[in-house]
Amino acid sequence: MASSLRTRLRIAATVLGARGFWDALAGRFLWQPPPGAPPGGGILEAPPLGGGGGGWLRGALHVHTCTYSDGAGTIEEVMGAAKAAGVDFVLLTDHNTMRPKADGLEERYAGQTPFLIVGDEITVKGGAFLLALDLPGDFQFAPNQPPQVAIDAILAVGGLPLVSLPDDMKHPWDAWDATGCAGLEALNLSTVAREHINPLSLTWLLLLWRLKGELTVLQALCTRPDASLASWDRLLAQGKKQIGLGALDAHALLKIGKKKHPIPSYENSFRAVTTHVLAETRTPKAIHTAIRAGHCFFAYDCLGEIALDFHATPPPGGGQGAILMGDGAPVGAMLTATGPETALLRLYRAGGGIVAAGKGSLSYRTDRPGAYRIEAYRVGIQRGPLFLGARPWAFTNPIYVK
Ligand SMILES: [Zn+2]
């Protein structure tokens, strides 16, 4: 009897202590306004670019196939799902291989919508992962080596190493003292899902899935990736330039017990989270250039269409020209953000918390150095100063004020 009580108490403690449980109680699952139609505000015009069909392009990042690693679908199925979801490009990152590039897949989809970019997800010693972009097709690297060895190998061929799944429950990154990483997946949909599925939320999510379908479940999972954003801010506060991306880790496979289920589908994953990149042309090269520059933000697109402008205007005599997200600006620069009218915008200074907020737009005159970034929230109901049911919607790369 005593032992059964102890077991029950232990189970209760596990449930109460599970990551995501208090989120669920706080209404992140149980009470939230339905996404409905995209709110007003429309799409902002991107700054004028050269020819080649560039502008703000939406990409589904971090995708696996069954052809080259452990996803459920072929390249054709993945690209078909991406077309149905309306994204501009797919970043394929099968495990420890650049073979899709060597096999000419980037060329096969060149000039099409969506087009394809091939990257690599490298397993490092301890089971964590690095996303490696902008690699040559003949890049080869034996997995399970120390993180620094992998980072150095990527940099040696001119590639771009980023921490994948930085604060994942299953595959956390712990080599934060390694040098040379260019950034991280500040949002990873798989990590968010794992964090927020627990005995309490699972009942609710299964009901939602039965009644409203898979995309509604993904919408319910759209929560602020607190741990990854904290890791990002910690690096930024050290004065490092760090690119933040929104990724999926899409396999279209969910293992429940011994059975694998095709959940969530590629198409719904691609509708849920994308990274919006301001690229000169619709090519892998232009996307890599823009990501390296930090000219991108990432969003829960399934909560509604969103466009975000975040730029800086230098103080008088401080030079001129457009300073975009990802760029540097002098102290005294005016930061301006504009989003949909119904979005609550919050300006964060890494390590300094929220320094300004506004609905639809905000301006802030900087008076000290730091990495300043915007988080946009889709507002549910506003009661005076209270925003009820605000959902995290989009996250920009920082402007680095020096
Ligand atoms: Zn992956």
**How far does the centroid of ligand 1 lie from the alpha carbon of residue 119, in Å?**
11
Q: How many CB atoms lie within 10 A of CB 356?
A: 17
Residue 323 has pLDDT above 60, yes or no: yes
Separation of alpha carbons 154 and 325, rounded Å: 25
CATH architecture entry for 308-402: Sandwich (2.60)
Q: Where are the domains of the chain?
A: 19-306, 308-402
12: Cα separation from own chain's centroid:
33
The pTM of the full predicted model, rounded to 2 decimals, is 0.89
Separation of alpha carbons 104 and 27, rounded Å: 47
Q: In this structure, what token pair is assigned to residue 383? A: 């009661």
Query: Could you tell me which residue, 141 or 36, shows the higher pLDDT?
Result: 141
With CA atoms as reference, report the closest residue to 89 among 102, 98, 79, 97: 79
Is the N-terminal amide bond of 114 cis, ω within 30° of 0? yes
Contact 266, 207 (CB under 8 A): no
**How far does the centroid of ligand 1 lie from the alpha carbon of residue 200, in Å?**
27
Residue 30 has pLDDT above 70, yes or no: no
Q: In this structure, what token pair is assigned to residue 220? A: 């319910």
pLDDT at 198: 79
pLDDT at 21: 60
pLDDT at 28: 54
**How far does the centroid of ligand 1 lie from the alpha carbon of residue 185, in Å?**
11
Rg (CA), the chain: 21
Separation of alpha carbons 74 and 72, rounded Å: 7
The yes or no reply on domain 19-306 and CATH 3.20.20.140 is yes
Question: pLDDT band at residue 261, thresholds of 50, 70 and 90?
Answer: confident
- In this chain, the answer to whether the domains covering 19-306 and 308-402 adopt an identical fold is no
With CA atoms as reference, report the closest residue to 64 among 107, 93, 101: 93
**How far does the centroid of ligand 1 lie from the alpha carbon of residue 364, in Å?**
38
Residue 300 has pLDDT above 80, yes or no: yes
Contact 160, 287 (CB under 8 A): no
Query: What percent of the chain is predicted at pLDDT more than 90?
Result: 69
Q: How many CB atoms lie within 10 A of CB 199?
A: 12
**How far does the centroid of ligand 1 lie from the alpha carbon of residue 94, in Å?**
7
pLDDT at 40: 36
**How far does the centroid of ligand 1 lie from the alpha carbon of residue 93, in Å?**
7
pLDDT at 329: 95
**How far does the centroid of ligand 1 lie from the alpha carbon of residue 396, in Å?**
23
pLDDT at 47: 43
The average pLDDT across 363-383 equals 90
The average pLDDT across 173-199 equals 93
- For the chain, the straight-line distance linking the first and the last C-alpha, in angstroms and rounded, comes to 65
**How far does the centroid of ligand 1 lie from the alpha carbon of residue 402, in Å?**
35
Q: b vs e for 131-143, b when ≥16 Cβ sit within 10 Å of the residue's Cβ?
A: bbbbbeeebebee
Is the N-terminal amide bond of 264 cis, ω within 30° of 0? yes
Residue 320 has pLDDT above 80, yes or no: no
pLDDT at 195: 86
Residue 37 has pLDDT above 70, yes or no: no
Separation of alpha carbons 98 and 76, rounded Å: 17
Residue 39 has pLDDT above 60, yes or no: no
**How far does the centroid of ligand 1 lie from the alpha carbon of residue 394, in Å?**
22
Average pLDDT of the chain to the nearest whole number = 88
Contact 371, 205 (CB under 8 A): no
Residue 64 has pLDDT above 90, yes or no: yes
Strand, coil or helix: what is 374? strand
Largest CA-CA distance found in the chain, in angstroms, rounded: 78
pLDDT at 263: 87
Q: Model confidence over 160-169: pLDDT tens digits?
A: 999 999 999 8
**How far does the centroid of ligand 1 lie from the alpha carbon of residue 64, in Å?**
6
**How far does the centroid of ligand 1 lie from the alpha carbon of residue 337, in Å?**
32
The C-alpha angle with vertex 81 and arms to 75 and 83, in degrees rounded to 5, equals: 100
